[in-house]
Structure 1
Amino acid sequence: MGKTSAFEDVVKPVRITTGPVTLDGDLAVPEGARGIVVFAHGSGSGRRSPRNRFVAETLHEGGLATLLFDLLTEDEERQERFTRHLRFDIGLLAGRLLDATDWLAGQPVAGGLKVGYFGASTGGGAALAAAAERPEAVAAVVSRGGRPDLAGEDALARVRAPTLLIVGGDDTTVIALNRQAMARMSAAVSLEIIPGASHLFEERGALEEVARLARDWFERYLAPAETGSSGR
């Protein structure tokens, strides 16, 4: 699962203020970026998640910019280990994701790019809840082993962004929850089940397939059509 250092070479540490707290992030914008993907991590994870960082590197190879940031502060993460009171607070997580999206809009290097969300675990629910609030700002969503059901029926019905749900074939409970969420969505939505993969996609080749599917989806919906091109 090795990658070159091209992605890390362009990563810029950033800080994003949301409500009373400031969150750390890593912004990577390749030259000629064709869109930007904001990552929403699940509980107990953050901008340094090796799985999401691997996906971000793959997106970078496809000419897409990325923003990985911590949805919780270090103090909140420490409390969460004992109380588990924030991991399912989708309203809080979605609100912070929206604040990060607003922050991006004011950055010269990324302000003109179409925005996509990549959510993992409970971050999948947060990504869809946020997309429902900003249909004009969010152009695509991908969920990896996510809990889109946590966004709630009202939010799911209001999502307009084309959505890709990726679930491991052995993650049967989450497959069922994703199917339930799909039934409540009116946006274009697709479910990809990776055979033999578990919830964390640790099996050989599973995460590579997640990254490929995500890159193809975001390239389709975020990358501007080339003038004079007949498209793919």
Structure 2
Amino acid sequence: VSESLLSLEGVSRVYGEEVPVHALRDVWLDIRAGEFLSIIGPSGSGKSTMLGLLGVLDLPTSGSIRILGTEVNTLPDAQRSRLRGDAIGFVFQQFHLVPHLTSLGNVETALLYRDLSRRERRRRSMEALERVDLVQRADHRPIQMSGGEQQRTAIARAIVTEPLVVLADEPTGALDTENAANVMEIFAGLRSSERAVCIVTHDLSVAGATERRISMLDGEIVLDEVQVPAT
């Protein structure tokens, strides 16, 4: 059985005190190395809250978040941030690229706080661009790139740190059908014996391209199924 990379154990998230809103209720989820999975649900189903907790951007009201078996929600802030930076790579619907930097420069920003020489930083960043088939655009700025190329730059930035889990939030939401299909193909190729890829979406065709689909409704997991990915 492959290693558990990231898990939620009996996690609940409640917002507000006077009128509490239960965004997540007693959720158990285990993400293992090699998995390509999606979390799908309508607006208000709790999937964004789930993403925030999986990415350790938010903390649960009750329950535990574990990375490689270590409970992270009880760690001091600095330690938790460091662990998040090492373990998780984020890709968002909006690309969040720095406009005046090239594609390569944007990827390098993820390594600025690592103890690396400039040369090594550049080498790793070019390698990440190679994995998303974008080396030919390395010296282009965002304004000179298509939406698909900008998203691939954002994916390269997410994987250059060699994270255990890539978490993507509606990563095809701003793309046309062809670019969306290309991006999903890239995501499928990113998981490895050490890494999982998890996509949060409301789009059935995106969820259908993954091998495990987790359906959410009203803050709970209502279905967790293995499927043959549609191509």
Length-normalised TM-score, structure 1: 0.29
Q: Hey, which of these two has a bigger chunk of strand by percent?
A: 2
Q: Hey, which of these two has a bigger chunk of helix by percent?
A: 1
Higher relative contact order (CA 8 A, sep 6+): 2
Length-normalised TM-score, structure 2: 0.29
